[in-house]
Structure 1
Amino acid sequence: MPILNLNEERNTYLCTMKLFPNTVRGVVQAIDEIFNQNRYADKVIEKTLKSNPKWGARDRAFVAETIYEMVRWWRLINEVSPSKDLYHLFGTYWLLQGNKLPDWREFNGLDAYKIKTKYEKVKDIRALKQSIPDWLDQMGAALLGDKWDEEIDTLNQQASVVIRVNTLKISREELMNRLAQDGIETYSPKGYKDALVLAKRQNIFKNQAFKDGLFEVQDASSQLVAAALEVEPGMRVIDACAGAGGKSLHLAALMENKGRILSMDVEGWKLQNTKLRARRNGVSIIEPRVIEGSKTIKRLNESADRVLLDVPCSGLGVLKRNPDTKWKLSPESIEKVQKMQQEILQNYASMVKPEGLLVYATCSILPSENQLQVEKFLSSEKGKDFELMEDQKVLAHESGFDGFYIAKLKRKAK
């Protein structure tokens, strides 16, 4: 069995892979960009694949997954590698999975027995074994207690590919059958009425059903957010931190494309993507609007039946799919984002009509970004008009999907 926390199917696939100089070079160059030039892993992978159009599907999958897994296990790999040479680091990663290395000069000095011996010495130190910064291990243990061990173990596993059925165009069963005709097997997870999980990871964006707007890629936990707003056709809804509009699209489907959704963000370029996605999804009720300052919010005072605050956060609940997050975060950056979260709650809650609903959501597992923020808001002057209806603390090891927090607040009648 491999030492690293990789699923069996994937490890079998990688063990049968023969290493080729050009693909290994692609991985090594990408790792250099991510860690030595401080670039985002997803952007680097996208660029790497675009720069090598002659690679086949198998090579592309190998490169993308190896980069992500090396990023995920970066601290552990560095701890047991004999040097910081990038080829040595790749070779160490490969050996840690129980694979054999080819006789290349780049791998001279790598000894599988020595690497395994080093691993045995550090495997009982959680921060090293789980390949996370010490401060994160301490923070996670302090805030999550006994649940931290299992949670960080789960967050180090590869994420499933989950799609959300666009019910404006097709039913879940119909989409499941259509994808099956294309050789794509899926299953419907219990408790997520619009979700399908792919039985096997693959690039689903090339499928015609995606181009036809029949589904969006969206984790099952993320799909709980729009559902929490209890929207109905004809309502006026504000998605105040909309980003690229994934949750706005889900809301539009739940509203049967009737009513009005203001998709707002401080970053105008993100909203451009919302327009394109809405067109593909057959959605006409979304109106993108840039938040240019406090005046934008004041003009919308008490104007919405529902307001969604899917606030910026640490992203610790989605480490499965964004493993480089843990190397970019710091206690200071988390403190900074917590301040921003409270400011958004304080300033944006006024857009909810009396007796309307406000949903506060994060893709974090830290109570300091979640229920503690809601408690702080409710005890403040601006929060006294609201009451907490319910909240969901979704942990990855309990749900099998991303870690999320969703709080539903109701504004009191005047």
Structure 2
Amino acid sequence: MTDVINTREIVLAVLNEVLEEDKYSHIVLREVLEKYQYLEKRDRSFITRVAEGTLENLIEMDYIISQFSSVKVSRMKPAIRNILRMSVYQLKYMDSVPDSAVCNEGVKLAQRKGFFNLKGFVNGVLRSVARNLDKVKYPDPKEMPVPYLSVTYSMPEWILNRWLRLYDFETVETICKGIHKDHVTTVRCNLNKASKKDIMESLRNQGVTVTEHPYLDYALNLFDYNYLKALDAFRNGWIQVQDVSSMLVAEVAAPKWGDYCIDVCAAPGGKSLHLADKLEGSGFVEARDITESKVKLMQDNIERTALINMNAVVADATVFLPASEEKADILLADVPCSGLGVIGRKPDIRYKMTEKKQEDIVKLQRQILDTVWKYVKVGGTLVYSTCTIGAEENQYNLKWFLDNYPFKLESIDPYLPEELQGKTTRAGYLQLLPGIHESDGFFLARLKRVSE
């Protein structure tokens, strides 16, 4: 690498912002990579891998450090704690970096941050870890299944306990493994603008490795690119970054020519853009969200993709808008959620979410549904979705809604690939799980408004 110390200092800054200042990793890392576009690809890859890898394995890193430190991790100076975490991650998971280099650079980084009196402590802990890493004992999966899963996959125990109420141990471990596997960038091809062949050719001409997704023929997986916004296919509006689970929302919504659609919690806007594309210039999609910044992000995408049948507006989904009553042929309610289905892409979510926060989120979800259901015409469609795993925000919310409002579930089998069809999809809903399905964790249901 051209500047080893500098890249490690950047990683430390990312970790400090995420873990000490409570910022979101995907936002911090995106801003950092945009700021350092001029760095070589391998340096940017190093920053991404060490920052994301440390966050993905945070509980395990703290578990290992605690075996060799006389000071509890929670009582360390934040900078020292994060230097040790990122260094232990390199020792355990990055064979390409020599142990001696990891230890030396960790000590130098502590000095650069002004902790000269702690360089001996950092050096001692890291060299002890390097010598004894293979001797660290993990909880036994049979005797201590929850601590085993928690340490091995860096998953808070309260989340695991909730998942274990729904699924057996093997399924939960498969989910955890799925969260930790390398995640690719999935994009949706805008076939109204260019053919799939031309899009793939353009991407490959710029050195991108492209594979087709098994669920939807217009979905592609991208590898080996440096900066997405530099790709011609992106700048031309031919592709939109979107997980295939999110693409399924527009498939299940199944808009007809001329439909009027409202997306009440739309940012960053992928589902709304997809609906507008499916309408092929007809009808209209109103994408709403609560902040100016989110609406501007959606408007930028509308302009990039040159859509004429969509706009983005600021609106609070908890506030009833009389002008929208019974106007929507299709209403998307992709409500705020705990985000536990996208931990693989946003690893710090698991540490920021709590049981109390999740309870508050369920209340907010119900408040939104209680407000927006009236926007749907009789005979119209409401698609409820979240990017999370767990009955509280998904199946329980769905039952509550059906018990209290004039809607019924409709089978979503006609809109899904065969490999996703099953008992629940015939009933009208689907829970996607990392490791089980080729997607993020995601829940969606299709409901039709009936006469009261």
**Normalising by the residue count of structure 1, what TM-score does the alignment of the two structures yield?**
0.89
Residue 150 to residue 375, structure 1, CA distance change in 2 (3 Å): same
Cα offset, 1:185, TM superposition: 2.4
CA distance in 2, matches of 1:397, 1:150: 5
CA distance in 2, matches of 1:122, 1:293: 45
Which residue of structure 2 lines up, in the alignment, with residue 108 of structure 1?
A: 123
Alpha carbons 2:185, 2:241 under 8 Å: kept: yes
Cα offset, 1:294, TM superposition: 6.2
Cα offset, 1:388, TM superposition: 4.3
Residue 279 to residue 18, structure 1, CA distance change in 2 (3 Å): closer
Q: Give 5+ residue unaligned stretches, structure 1.
A: 1-16
CA distance in 2, matches of 1:43, 1:408: 31
Matched residues, number: 395
For residues 319-398 of structure 1, what are the structure 2 equivalents within 5 Å? 319-380=343-404, 383-389=405-411, 390-398=428-436
Which residue of structure 1 lines up, in the alignment, with residue 162 of structure 2?
A: 139
For residues 6-405 of structure 1, what are the structure 2 equivalents within 5 Å? 20-50=4-34, 52=36, 54-81=38-65, 82-83=68-69, 84=73, 85=80, 86-97=82-93, 99=95, 100-101=98-99, 102=101, 104=104, 106=107, 108-109=123-124, 110=126, 111=128, 112-118=130-136, 120-122=137-139, 124=141, 125-146=148-169, 147-200=171-224, 202-292=226-316, 296-380=320-404, 383-389=405-411, 390-405=428-443
Alpha carbons 2:188, 2:241 under 8 Å: kept: yes
Cα offset, 1:226, TM superposition: 1.1
Opposite residue 293 of structure 2, the aligned amino acid is W
Opposite residue 135 of structure 2, the aligned amino acid is T
Residue 140 to residue 254, structure 1, CA distance change in 2 (3 Å): same
Residue 36 to residue 407, structure 1, CA distance change in 2 (3 Å): same
Residue 161 to residue 46, structure 1, CA distance change in 2 (3 Å): closer
Cα offset, 1:408, TM superposition: 0.3
Alpha carbons 1:159, 1:401 under 8 Å: kept: no
Shifted more, 191-200 versus 233-242: the winner is: 191-200
Cα offset, 1:141, TM superposition: 1.3
Cα offset, 1:292, TM superposition: 4.8
CA distance in 2, matches of 1:292, 1:404: 23
Cα offset, 1:25, TM superposition: 1.8
Question: Per-residue CA shift, 1:128-157, capped at 9, x if unaligned?
Answer: 111111211212212333421211221122
Secondary structure at the residue paired with 1:299? helix
Secondary structure at the residue paired with 2:138? helix
Alpha carbons 1:96, 1:116 under 8 Å: kept: no
Residue 71 to residue 229, structure 1, CA distance change in 2 (3 Å): same
Opposite residue 193 of structure 1, the aligned amino acid is D
Question: Per-residue CA shift, 1:154-196, capped at 9, x if unaligned?
Answer: 1122311101101220122221122222222212122213201
Q: Give 5+ residue unaligned stretches, structure 2.
A: 74-79, 108-121, 142-147, 412-427
Opposite residue 104 of structure 1, the aligned amino acid is N
Question: Per-residue CA shift, 1:298-341, capped at 9, x if unaligned?
Answer: 32111111111011111111111000100100001111111111
RMSD: 2.1
Shifted more, 324-333 versus 122-131: the winner is: 122-131
Opposite residue 253 of structure 1, the aligned amino acid is D
Percent identity of paired positions between Structure 1 and Structure 2:
27
CA distance in 1, matches of 2:5, 2:187: 35
Opposite residue 138 of structure 2, the aligned amino acid is K
Alpha carbons 1:238, 1:261 under 8 Å: kept: yes
Opposite residue 167 of structure 2, the aligned amino acid is L
Shifted more, 134-143 versus 308-317: the winner is: 134-143
Which residue of structure 2 lines up, in the alignment, with residue 407 of structure 1?
A: 445
CA distance in 2, matches of 1:44, 1:202: 17
Alpha carbons 1:237, 1:305 under 8 Å: kept: yes
CA distance in 2, matches of 1:134, 1:242: 31
**Normalising by the residue count of structure 2, what TM-score does the alignment of the two structures yield?**
0.82
Shifted more, 52-61 versus 282-291: the winner is: 52-61
Secondary structure at the residue paired with 2:384? strand
Opposite residue 79 of structure 1, the aligned amino acid is Y
Secondary structure at the residue paired with 2:178? helix
Opposite residue 167 of structure 1, the aligned amino acid is L
CA distance in 2, matches of 1:385, 1:52: 50
CA distance in 2, matches of 1:388, 1:349: 16
Secondary structure at the residue paired with 1:108? helix
Cα offset, 1:113, TM superposition: 3.3
